[in-house]
Structure 1
């Protein structure tokens, strides 16, 4: 979902190029999205700023023709859970005295302590993960989602330790690109995993599921977010198989590349990291 400022600038550019005052210079522009699923993500801001940056707050919004899809394809697979999510979105789902939504017992892992409950969650989502004859297609169909990258790292550590097979670990080469002199910079950079960068210590196993973090070759299916299965390792090139989409089953090679911290990352010192552009 793009910011309204980007769409408005695009409109201004088309008007200027075509020398007209007609919205989008009279060209047909198609936008797609669901405000319930793909809200704007704006760092270091608040709810009001996010709402004001949305396209619905733009003066262009009233000129759009709105088309709504009628059939929810995901709801066909699990209509009960889909209905539950819609009630939450409509604000009609029952809440407790603290205005908290109650998660159904059948969808809830009880909290005992952090380690025990996390282990129960992983066993529920990926049963028999330690089995050497594990059905690896299970990882294509399931995922554990959480709110922060640090939680993702913790869960990935638990899962890769349980995953069958011999592990292969790759360490990144980090380089300072800021003007300031940083004491013990290597140790500092190794401890950081900014958004969009792979970890300094990347532990993989044969058939472990990974996700690509950069667009390497979109034509061949190697895009940011592509899910793959590890099929082989080398010092500078890893061998994998695409597990989803129209390219599923295709064998690909992923090289080590040099990545930089995102420019909008205000919480990290800028540096370069040479590593495989993947994470578990």
Structure 2
């Protein structure tokens, strides 16, 4: 793997290994857009350290990113980060536990997709690590993350922390770059696109001298010309070149699905084919519409699964309150990140987990699975992609607790 690193990757590799071997306790941020080989570099560093019997703890902000890393898991799961963090939060890690001992013995912490996580979470981890390593949390002798070498990575042009009901300024304020710790980070940059630059499709899609990969980078850097659609309105719209668009017809869903999933009838069992394609939509309503259409393209009969919905309310709430919300009404409620009351599935349908069922077995939020069996109480399938590729897994029924300020109760959807 080391021999396959390009110049920038090797420079970053050497810098990080030097910090670990000399116990310098530096904090790094590996900055690079998608396709620059961040994951490959992580894996090379992790393999190098583990070959020396050193411990590298590997986490990511999302489950799907965690599955691409060796023994990776989500950061919130690994470090017991509170769901709601502020400037004084700490993690629920007690001294003397196996997790505490693992962190104390670790030589490196690797954290992918870091820009997606609120800065208070990083600050909470740093305080917790200092406590575990018996290092002052602030003042003389203070060292970030308890003196551990940490490697964060990601792309600030992608998803920033999601803060409900707040605007641009609050979202930016939650970014890692707004943390007081940021000035102590060493920035490592990757710019060569290892994935797109050699792609035939990328070289074929050219507009105004830009290949598709170059155009996406120019978009992220704010270098594309903008225009305004209304008088005195901000100039914040861009024109997408026609060559980058899917030709539209009177059936737009058929157009995009046939373009992205070409030859679907012959390749629907091919996991490489499935994991190399995705359709991203701005709303859940469109997700459902596209999913329903694609499910119809699969052979065989669909099986419907229905949730069991109930309410969790305070004990001092009068009995009449429970009677005011019928089960039929609860069944109609929809929430972000939670399955609807009815799910239709078929064997060979690809699905994605929405919860961390068992990170140690590759079952994380974002794990993609190809269904092989639909039972009454369980679903069987094989994991697609990542370090757990082709592993056979079983998913049971689980209870999802949903809190939404629109409703005066917690929905329990099983």
Checking the alignment, whether the CA contact within 8 Å between 1:178 and 1:271 is kept in structure 2 is no
Checking the alignment, whether the CA contact within 8 Å between 1:177 and 1:271 is kept in structure 2 is yes
CA drift of 1:178 comes to 2.6
SS where residue 375 of structure 2 aligns? coil
TM-score by length of 1: 0.86
| Residues in 1 aligned to 2:268 and 2:125: alpha-carbon distance in whole angstroms | 47
CA drift of 1:26 comes to 3.5
Deviations 1:214-243 (Å, cap 9, x if unpaired)? 222222211111101111111001111111
| Residue number among 167, 170, 174 corresponding to 1:46 in the alignment | 167
**Corresponding residue number in structure 2 for 1:4:** 119
| Residue number among 247, 252, 257 corresponding to 1:122 in the alignment | 257
CA drift of 1:46 comes to 0.3
CA drift of 1:162 comes to 2.8
- Measured at CA, do residues 176 and 136 of structure 1 come closer, stay the same or move farther in structure 2, by a change above 3 Å? same
| Residues in 2 aligned to 1:82 and 1:41: alpha-carbon distance in whole angstroms | 26
Checking the alignment, whether the CA contact within 8 Å between 2:380 and 2:394 is kept in structure 1 is yes
**Corresponding residue number in structure 1 for 2:5:** none
Return 229-238 or 72-81, whichever deviates more.
72-81
Return 245-254 or 101-110, whichever deviates more.
101-110
**Corresponding residue number in structure 2 for 1:208:** 349
**Corresponding residue number in structure 2 for 1:104:** 241
Q: Which has the higher helix share?
A: 2
| Residues in 1 aligned to 2:356 and 2:342: alpha-carbon distance in whole angstroms | 21
Checking the alignment, whether the CA contact within 8 Å between 1:176 and 1:185 is kept in structure 2 is no
CA drift of 1:139 comes to 2.2
| Residues in 1 aligned to 2:162 and 2:377: alpha-carbon distance in whole angstroms | 34
**Corresponding residue number in structure 1 for 2:284:** 149
| Residue number among 27, 34, 48 corresponding to 2:148 in the alignment | 27
| Residue number among 313, 318, 332 corresponding to 1:191 in the alignment | 332
SS where residue 124 of structure 2 aligns? helix
CA drift of 1:97 comes to 5.0
For structure 1, the 5+ residue unaligned runs are 275-280
Checking the alignment, whether the CA contact within 8 Å between 2:372 and 2:382 is kept in structure 1 is yes
Checking the alignment, whether the CA contact within 8 Å between 1:174 and 1:189 is kept in structure 2 is yes
CA drift of 1:208 comes to 0.7
| Residues in 2 aligned to 1:81 and 1:155: alpha-carbon distance in whole angstroms | 25
SS where residue 18 of structure 1 aligns? coil
TM-score by length of 2: 0.60
2:199 counterpart of 1:58: no
| Residues in 1 aligned to 2:328 and 2:406: alpha-carbon distance in whole angstroms | 17
Cα RMSD for the two superposed structures: 2.3
**Corresponding residue number in structure 1 for 2:224:** 93
Higher Rg of the two aligned structures: 2
Checking the alignment, whether the CA contact within 8 Å between 2:372 and 2:381 is kept in structure 1 is yes
**Corresponding residue number in structure 1 for 2:135:** 18
Structure ranking higher on relative contact order (CA contacts 8 Å, 6+ apart): 2
Return 236-245 or 7-16, whichever deviates more.
7-16
| Residue number among 157, 165, 170 corresponding to 1:36 in the alignment | 157
Checking the alignment, whether the CA contact within 8 Å between 1:109 and 1:117 is kept in structure 2 is no
| Residues in 2 aligned to 1:14 and 1:184: alpha-carbon distance in whole angstroms | 46
Checking the alignment, whether the CA contact within 8 Å between 1:140 and 1:243 is kept in structure 2 is yes
